[in-house]
Structure 1
Amino acid sequence: MASCSPLYFSTPFPTLPSSPSLPKLPRLPFHPSLLSHPFTHKPLPLAFSTGIRGASGSGRFFCRAKASMAEKGKGKVEVFDSEDDLSVSLAKYTADLADKFSKERGSFTVVLSGGSLIKSLRKLVEPPYVDAVDWSTWHVFWVDERVVPKDHDDSNYKLALDGFLSKVPILPGKVYAINDALPAEGAADDYETCLKHLVKSNVISVSAATGFPKFDLMLLGVGPDGHVASLFPGHPLVKENEKWVTFIKNSPKPPPERITFTFPVINSSANIALVVCGAGKAGPVHAALGNDQNSDPLPVGMVSPEGELVWFLDKDAASKL
């Protein structure tokens, strides 16, 4: 196997109980001048709920003053009053999927990104999840990584370790960090080799439609310029359609050397959560979800998984919709 070294130890926890389905929420019309379909200009449905349900796993969370809307091709959009409400819902969403795939397949493959995403996962390290999730089934990957030592402040691995992974009992050998002793090209090839080994051993599923690895859940952030992973606007890597993992040596955002999953891998995912907070990211959110037609979409607008896409937005990130 490629170098994906075990870095911490744990004991298994009981599985999370399955969640009963909740009745559908009433749907209310929304004025098309505020939010409409980018092509038909027809109003999208909007659903509201108040209060928070399911704190002990009794159903999906509905956070106070959250607005939900769905549109074909753009996924489900959820807007929260605060980043804290968003984090509560994201924890429940992640735990529910972990429970589902763990029961179906005996494992749960989850892909992390850097930036503010790890902060938004903080509720998973609190009750009820820290003691109820079956962490022994988790396999953790990175959608991109900076080619720096693992203890460097720029490392996405270090960010995840400090803020999340060190607080939950993931089993040895199931946290797949890059080989930071290699240069960017070698680290990308090594990581792709690691993924192919895990596909052959049936840890990672394969998309029947594309042949690319199909992760159970990919948790993505968005940059102020609209980049996802280390796929930046206007960069040739955005169009890479053969490699699973590639590298960049001239990133417009430092550090310059990185590895990244390509869009075919990202979009083969069973589930993607796009987690976006802050007014500084309202522009790319609007570019991806608003009414403007752009022949050259930002990378965030190119996220379109085989399975479910859910946007988790705080009200500041959604302020231009």
Structure 2
Amino acid sequence: MASSPLQLSTPLRTLFLSPSLGRLPRIPFQASLFWQRVTPKTLVFSTGIRGVSGPGRFCSRAKASMAGTTTEKGKGKVEVFASEEDLSVSLAKYTADLADKLSKEKSTFTVVLSGGSLIKSLRKLVEPPYIDSVDWSAWQVFWVDERVVPKDHDDSNYKLAFDGFLSKVPILPGNVYSINDALSAEGAADDYETCLKHLVNSGVISVSAATGLPKFDLMLLGMGPDGHVASLFPGHPLVRENEKWVTFIKDSPKPPPERITFTFPVINSSAHIALVVCGAGKAGPVHAALGNGRNSEPLPVQMVSPEGEMVWFLDKDAASKL
């Protein structure tokens, strides 16, 4: 899909060209074309490019497991797996299937990542058959939330994703949209929203016909033990924000305190949401969201309700109270 070039703001363009970016690890360039013959149960993917990677652009420009038990709930499909390993295998196939379908339809695949254990659960995507069969050149990568820290800081969701996923797959570095960590929390949130608007206007990100908001192809969400998603925490006023696409928080109950986050209107405009939850410590919020109980104030995870498809990927411990 052709698109008009994105115009960078001066501070972001300056930061993108800064020599300080050189401190991040680089991935060797390797170009290849491939075609893989596979069994009927395995996806066939088209040609792809094994290419460069690196710190990406600032957003201003940066075999399936059958062990799962699937049920249909009012809030989407629920898949429960005997182990986190089985969950990871199924999540990789789900993501690869979706990427293959959508990238063939419209030449791009917009993916939103979160932090926490989600990146670990994506690890099967960096292994065969997916590493050499997914059309990684179609991927456009974003973050549902980010900590306002340098990109090489241990608290950075970018660093987490880079170390565990992005550095291992040939996604084009210009298709990775990270925040401008040289700005304040408020400035970084405004800048990221401006970036999204540019990409919507240029056709890289689709638009929801229902809301007029950006419609990401796949949002990969985790959940905290308190039921928070993104950086939207229980009882915090930001869970009710309905004007901004991207907002900021300076008093996060979980450190570090300064973060940016997508708001629920944008999250819920997604075409597909995969909510990935592992561990017995998260069984309570899972039950609150999917069980029959009622609570006076919904947890943030209960407010995730996309206009498209939602699939819960749970290990047996996270589902133990259902």
Is 2:43 the counterpart of 1:57? yes
Give the AA of the match of 1:57: L
Residue 280 of structure 2 corresponds to which residue in structure 1?
279
Q: Percent of counterpart pairs with the same letter? A: 79
Residue 127 of structure 1 corresponds to which residue in structure 2?
128
Residue 138 of structure 2 corresponds to which residue in structure 1?
137
CA distance in 1, matches of 2:70, 2:152: 39
Q: Matched residue pairs, number?
A: 284
**Structure 1 residues 267 and 158, CA gap change in structure 2 (3 angstroms):** same
> Are 2:65 and 2:89, in contact at CA under 8 Å, matched by a contact in 1?
no
Residue 269 of structure 1 corresponds to which residue in structure 2?
270
* TM-align CA RMSD: 2.1
**Structure 1 residues 264 and 68, CA gap change in structure 2 (3 angstroms):** same
Residue 153 of structure 2 corresponds to which residue in structure 1?
152
What's the secondary structure of 1:111's corresponding residue? strand
Give the AA of the match of 2:268: N
CA distance in 2, matches of 1:293, 1:157: 36
**Structure 1 residues 186 and 223, CA gap change in structure 2 (3 angstroms):** same
1:35-58 CA-to-partner distances (Å, cap 9, x unmatched) read xxxxxxxxxxxxxxxxxxx3x438
Residue 93 of structure 1 corresponds to which residue in structure 2?
94
> Are 1:16 and 1:134, in contact at CA under 8 Å, matched by a contact in 2?
no
**Structure 1 residues 17 and 269, CA gap change in structure 2 (3 angstroms):** farther
What's the secondary structure of 1:96's corresponding residue? helix
CA distance in 1, matches of 2:258, 2:30: 33
> Are 1:270 and 1:307, in contact at CA under 8 Å, matched by a contact in 2?
yes
Residue 237 of structure 1 corresponds to which residue in structure 2?
238
Residue 104 of structure 2 corresponds to which residue in structure 1?
103
Unaligned runs of 5+ in 2: 1-6, 18-25, 45-62
Residue 165 of structure 1 corresponds to which residue in structure 2?
166
Is 2:165 the counterpart of 1:179? no
- TM-superposed deviation, 1:192: 0.4
Unaligned runs of 5+ in 1: 21-53
Query: What is the aligned counterpart of 1:68 among 67, 70, 79?
Result: 70
Residue 321 of structure 2 corresponds to which residue in structure 1?
320
User: Normalized against structure 1, the TM-score is what?
Assistant: 0.84
What's the secondary structure of 1:97's corresponding residue? helix
Residue 27 of structure 1 corresponds to which residue in structure 2?
none
CA distance in 1, matches of 2:138, 2:35: 10
1:181-218 CA-to-partner distances (Å, cap 9, x unmatched) read 00100000000000000001100001010011000000
**Structure 1 residues 192 and 116, CA gap change in structure 2 (3 angstroms):** same
CA distance in 2, matches of 1:288, 1:92: 25
CA distance in 2, matches of 1:172, 1:223: 29
**Structure 1 residues 268 and 13, CA gap change in structure 2 (3 angstroms):** farther
Give the AA of the match of 2:71: M
- TM-superposed deviation, 1:61: 2.8
What's the secondary structure of 2:131's corresponding residue? helix
